[in-house]
Amino acid sequence: MTVAMIDSTTQRKEPELPKKRVGGGLLDPKTLVRSVPDALRKLDPRTLWRNPVMLIVEIGAIWSTVLAIMSPTWFAWLTVIWLWLTVLFANLAEAVAEGRGKAQADTLRKAKTDMMARRLSGWTPGHDQPQNSPEEEVAAPQLQQGDYVVVEAGQTIPGDGDVVEGIASVDESAITGESAPVIRESGGDRSAVTGGTTVLSDRIVVRITQKPGESFIDRMIALVEGANRQKTPNEIALNILLAALTIIFVFAVATLQPLAIFSKANNPGVPDTQALDGNGVTGIVMVALLVCLIPTTIGALLSAIGIAGMDRLVQRNVLAMSGRAVEAAGDVNTLLLDKTGTITLGNRQASDFLPVPGVSTAQLADAAQLSSLADETPEGRSIVVYAKREFGLRERTPGELTGAHWVEFTATTRMSGVDLEDGQQLRKGAANSVAEWVRSQGGTVPVDLGQIVDGISAAGGTPLVVGRTTAGTAEVLGVIHLKDVVKQGMRERFDEMRKMGIRTVMITGDNPLTAKAIADEAGVDDFLAEATPEDKLALIKREQEGGKLVAMTGDGTNDAPALAQADVGVAMNTGTSAAKEAGNMVDLDSDPTKLIEIVEIGKQLLITRGALTTFSIANDIAKYFAIIPAMFVALFPGLDMLNIMRLHSPQSAILSAVIFNAIIIIALIPLSLRGVRYTPSSASKLLSRNLYIYGLGGIIAPFVGIKLIDLVVQLFPGMS
């Protein structure tokens, strides 16, 4: 079980832009052509040793090439060619995956130019004005941690750091792809700036936090190119399993030579025209048999699957600092999500007008709209819109009310409103404040008001009481019901999470009563109210002590300890440098709901790896029936009942299997890069579906493919 958490301080995301894509289709001819040189370079055994399965195939191809030169035949050379193509196709799968990352890296490099920095000498925050300190111009790569640089409008920020003086609008499109500028200011959780971004307005002083050569852009380039990609624990375990199977089959195939000699001696009538010639199994046949029986398919695609998983995150503007984090995200089964900005829109909106006895709803709506015309808060605007939409009130503006005096909200009065020219006064605000104002004007508060206010609070809403004085009479008109609006589609997404076996928990600073109301409406499984940063860190530790993986997201310096403690820490790009350093993922869009997508991508990665492993092993089972009976039926006639494919000859059976083994790798590259389509469902259903589609499909495909190839191969000389 794993816990994922979204921090309560994260900001609401603006409307999402289209996702960035690189290149054409997954098998775009241009991409393939660009990847061929890299695939050829990967034939170097010093590179290929990290993939033991394909290293064995390459060693076998080299040996077969030598044997084919010594005894050239059509069968020998065709087998050698397809053995080399098997290795090349495996390298091509990895090269195509890496090539897509390199295309993204080329785009990022455009943001990294030879910049100069205006470094302040002898200046420290709070001691003097930056403009009074001497400046020196240095190359950006020479900046050290702790240096202070000044950046003005139109200039490029020379390195990663935190704003310590001033406020500015910054264009981060070179990094995030977002065209809209963002505000960066000293103090708070929006002080981090990234080297290569451009200041559009004002003047700021930045304290450099990066080490030379370790800027955010440098790390992004290395990550998307795959230079720093470390194998995940599951990937390492699968590699060990594949290596073990390969070793087993090496010994198994090696025993065929003495077995053939022994069988030939005891069956002198067996003709020498079979694949088992008078001297036993030939070296090329042994290599071909080994390559067909070891799990070459998954061995060839395993690295590409991992690279593609991280690439899919990059396409969604998420940088994963390690494949381990992506894999851990796929194991999540408990999500802790922040309420504000994640489950709800983050701004309370008017949802109902509840008048007190003796007042009509239309009167309350009119007074509520008038008192909110100059209220530019999201809540105030929602009251104006709700009154217009639900009660047909015409659209009015503050300018129409000549002689009106607008009363702004203050923390002291806890209410706002308007004094009209006709002497009418309108106020809206907290229940106690408006009730006290009505009493101070000589009015009385109806006894029903408390029940209305308590009912709204119990439902998780926020009550705003509306009061009015006119002609010397003060009265309470009613209550405006403000509520957190749950984002559209969230309940459906939580239902999908539930199908995936993931339990969702809402984290909020609200009181338990309000939290329960929102949790029930949103459809989450549980909630944690009045949560503090210390509570989150304690929760993470408790979950980890129970053997669970933990994921959270945050943006503030106070989130850094929890981000570092979590197994998956997603830091917002708008957050502080401390938060981004502590996390092992960075969301460039600063979207707190992105964690749900990260979980889905992680699960897709695991499912893709499992599906292709199932397909590969099933392939091998089918190839046993295709090759072994055809090779040994002359020695052991009883095997004829297993020769259900009725291949033309032992030579054509072996060559057809080798060709199929190579072609299936290139055919599965799109699936390994795109990933198996993920449909939210339980683990048992996913397992059943994968066994049915990729297990059964993996058994059937070789029978059909090898038979069709055999019909073509038998036309070549020497295949009879």
Q: Would you please indicate which residues are annotated as catalytic (active-site) residues?
A: 338
Any binding-site annotation on 410? yes
Residue 379 counted as an annotated binding residue = yes
Query: Is there a binding annotation on residue 109?
Result: no
Q: How far is residue 106 CA from its own chain's centroid?
A: 21
In whole angstroms, give the CA distance from residue 550 to residue 563: 10
411 is in an annotated binding site: yes
Q: Which residues pair with 171 in a beta bridge?
A: 198
Q: Is 375 annotated as belonging to a binding site?
A: yes
Which ranges of 5-129 does DSSP label H, i.e. alpha helix?
29-41, 45-48, 52-70, 74-109
User: Is 532 annotated as belonging to a binding site?
Assistant: no
494 is in an annotated binding site: no
Element (H, E) at 550: strand 549-554
Q: Helices (DSSP H) in 429-473: which residue ranges?
A: 431-440, 448-458
How far is 179 from 264, CA to CA, in rounded Å? 76
The CA R_g of the chain, rounded to the nearest whole Å, is 34
> Closest Cα to residue 246, out of 85, 76, 51?
51
What torsion do the CA atoms of 510, 511, 513, 519 make, to the nearest 10 degrees? 30
Distances (CA, A) of 106 to 99, 214, 227, 326, 677: 11, 17, 14, 24, 29
DSSP 201: S
Separation of alpha carbons 475 and 439, rounded Å: 9
**Cα atoms found within 13 Å of the Cα of residue 260, Cβ hemisphere only:** 24
Describe the crossing of helices 594-632 and 296-315 by its angle, rounded to 10 degrees: 160
**Structural contact between residues 623 and 292, judged by C-beta atoms closer than 8 angstroms:** yes
The answer on whether 415 is annotated among ligand-binding residues is yes
What is residue 440's three-state secondary structure? helix
Length of the chain: 720
Residues contacting 264, CB < 8 A, separation 6+: 270, 276, 278, 280, 635
Residue 414 marked ligand-binding: yes
Beta bridge partners of 406: 418
Six-digit token string for 99: 């090539």
Contact 84/110 with Cβ under 8 angstroms? no
* The pair of three-digit structure tokens given for residue 337, joined into one six-digit string: 């999500």
Neighbours of 109 (CB within 10 A): 13
Does 559 appear as a known binding residue? Answer: yes
Q: Which residue positions form the known binding site for Mg(2+)?
A: 555, 559
Q: Which residue positions form the known binding site?
A: 375, 379, 409-416, 428, 555, 559
Q: Which residue positions form the known binding site for ATP?
A: 375, 379, 409-416, 428
